[in-house]
Structure formats: C-alpha cells, structure tokens
Amino acid sequence: MANSEKFHSATIPDSRLLQGLLGLRGIAALAVVFFHTRYLTGIQVPDGFHFIERDFGYGAQLFFVLSAFSLMHSTAHTMHRPDWAREYLIKRFFRISPLFYMVLAYTTVLIASQAKFPDVITLLLNVFFVFGFVPDSANGLVMAGWTIGVEMIFYALFPVLLMVIKTKWDALIFMLAAMAVSYVARFELHMQYMQYLNTVPAPQMDWSYFTFLPNLFFFAAGILAYRLEQEFVKSGKSLPVLIPIVAIITIGVLLFTEAGQPFRRMGRLDLFIWGFGFGVLCIWQSVKPGKWIANRFFEYLGERSYSIYLLHPLLIYYFLKDHIINLNSILQPTFGTYAYFVCASVVMGAVLVMAEITYRAIEVPGIKLGRKVIETMRGKALQAR
C-alpha cells in the first residue's frame, strides 16, 4: 500500500501504526455488533449464516489477542525509560476511562430511571474497574462491559509480564501455562455457576466465560504472536506462506463448518483453537497486511472500535430494539430472514454516528490529556535533576 494511501490515526503515531491489526479491530467490532443485533432484538439470521449467532461473539476474544499484541508492540520499545511503567499505566487509564465513565454514568441514570438504582458496592466496583474480580458482578453495569473488567486486570499485570517474558520461548511457556489455568478456571467456574443456578437471586451470567482467568489464554496467545512476529521482522525474512494458510484454515473451518462442535463442552477446548487462529492471524496481518483487512473501511472502524463496542449494546437495547423489530417485520414478506442484514446495517449506521461523536469528543481528547499528563511529569522530573 503506497504511503499516500495509508490510513492516518489520530490516536496512534504513524511510526507505531500496524494497519493490519487496526483493520482486525474493525472486523472484531463489526462482528460483535452483528452478534448483538441478533440477540438483543431476537430477529433471526438466514439459513447458512448461523455462524453469525454462534461465532461472531468471539470478536471480544479477538480484541483480547489484539490488545496483548498491540501493547507489546507499543510498550516494549519504551522499557529503557526510567518511568516507562508509570507512563504506560497513565496512557491506559486515559485511553479507557473517559468513555467508560461516560457510558457508566449514562447507564446508571437509565437504570435509576427504572427505579433499579445499583447498590453502592456495585457502583464502586465499576468506578474502580475491579468488577472483573467478582464473578457475579463481572459483567459490570455497562452492557457488554465485562471485557473492560477483563482487560483492566490484564493491563495491571502487563508491566510484570513484559519484564518477565523476553523471548519466544518464555512466551510459549507462558501460553501453555495460561492454557492450563484457563481450562481449569473455566471448568471450575462453570461448575460453580451450575450449582448456584437454583439460588435466589440466580447468577446473571456464566462466570466461566466472562471473567479474567478463563480468558488469560487469549492474552498469552497475543504475547506469543508478537514475539514470533519479531523473529520475522528482525531476521528480514519474508513471511512463510504457511502462516496465512494456517490462519485461513483454522478460522475458516471453525467459522463455516461444525468441526468445532465436539469441543464446545465444559472447558471449551474450541476457544483455544480460536485463540490459536487469532494469534496466527495477527502475525500475518502485522508482517504482511492484506488490503482485504488493511483497508480504509475496516481501519476506520478499528480506529473507532472502542466507541463502537461500548455504545452498540446500549443503543440497541434502549433505543433501537423496537424499531429494528418493526423494520424486520416490514421487510420479512419481501426478503425473508435476509431482512436481518438490512436491520444489522441500520444498527451499524446508527452506532457509527454516535461512535464518531464520542471518538472525537471523548476518546481523542482523553488520549491527548493522558499525553499531556505524561509530558508534565517528565518536565517536573527534569527540573528535579
């Protein structure tokens, strides 16, 4: 892709921008919106497209792999600085918290308007980003906000992981250990969830899917993918053709066949296969991004993927649901279940309008404020010397 055609991010310096990964963020965001359009409205997908309702929710896990890979890419080269860990944490806080707090405040008002004001403990768990530690509160007050609870735990652990995992072999050992931890945690938490189903109040969600330890493997896969990617970059060798082939076959088979069905039992071994496929996909698109992913459309979505992700369930559930159901009823006599795609496109259009506003009014200013805080701290440190 020629330099004149490159997408320029307002949040990532051109020198650190991986266009293939930004495009993958856009795809992950689009997949999750299509997934929740199905489940939050109840409209049906056409025959032959059931992978949308079965697998598109794994866009959240793709975000986890991308997050680990991207943080390795953006932070590893800063470790020579005395305050790199503190600066990293400041960047993460100002990247995540402004939009999250805005959506949290609005959600709290909506809940309160229905005479269901959340208790103080639940509210504090969300304000301090620690709801991911409490299984029955792990979903958070923000709809689909469970991923933020999971991510924030990883963000806190990341500086230690970065200092410990220096090579691809370290990363491989960590990934294998994370696989064992995730499997055991997923199994045990699912068993606990099943035991508590008959209690009052019953759990709101299956803890084995929405908490940190069951998802640790995806972050480990992202770290290993980065270490392997660096091997190709440093060696100057071209990307082995086996990498794209493995990525396409792994994800394609899972997405378009029922081959993963036998693994979708307790422990969810299929999720490890997804994580492996996502990791290989990240290596491929980092080293040699393809225009079918690294293009203006998906990069545009990727740049706004955080806003898209946080806003879409709120917009669908509280504002669009009835309209989408009515639109689907009107279109069905003509299009049948293919009306789903029209409805999903309408939802995506509405989400993009709001995401553009929050991206420009909240995300970008928040990131700039974080950078300003870091620059102020650096200035004070220089004066103190």
Give pLDDT tens digits for 160-218.
999 999 999 999 999 999 999 999 999 998 888 888 887 767 777 788 899 999 999 99
pLDDT of residue 382: 86
Burial class (CB in 10 A: 0-12, 13-18, 19+), 137: buried
Type of residue at 361: A
Of the given ranges (92-96, 119-123, 155-159, 345-349), which has the lowest mean pLDDT?
119-123
Q: Which two tokens stand for residue 24?
A: 């993958």
The domain limits of the chain are 3-384
HSE-CB for 306 with a 13 A CA cutoff: 25
For 274-322, what is each residue's pLDDT tens digit? 999 999 999 999 999 999 999 999 999 999 999 999 999 999 999 999 9
DSSP states of 95-108: HHHHHHHHHHHHHH
Mean pLDDT (the chain, rounded)? 93
Residue 236 region by backbone torsions, left for phi larger than 0, else alpha for psi between -120 and 50, else beta: left
pLDDT of residue 9: 84
pLDDT of residue 168: 96
Top pLDDT among 148 and 383 is at 148
Average of per-residue pLDDT across 66-72: 98
Q: Which two tokens stand for residue 50?
A: 């059931």
In angstroms, rounded to a whole number, what is the distance separating the alpha carbons of residues 1 and 7? 10
Cα–Cα distances (Å) from 329 to 308, 320, 335, 342, 355, in that order, read 26, 14, 10, 12, 27
Contact of 76 with 162, CB cutoff 8 Å: yes
Single out the residue of 342, 380, 295 nearest to residue 41, CA to CA.
342
In angstroms, rounded to a whole number, what is the distance separating the alpha carbons of residues 232 and 236? 6
Whether residue 2 is predicted with pLDDT greater than 50 in this model: the reply is no
Whether residue 233 is predicted with pLDDT greater than 80 in this model: the reply is yes
Burial class (CB in 10 A: 0-12, 13-18, 19+), 90: middle
Single out the residue of 276, 335, 231 nearest to residue 65, CA to CA.
276
Average of per-residue pLDDT across 33-44: 98
pLDDT of residue 288: 93
pLDDT of residue 266: 67
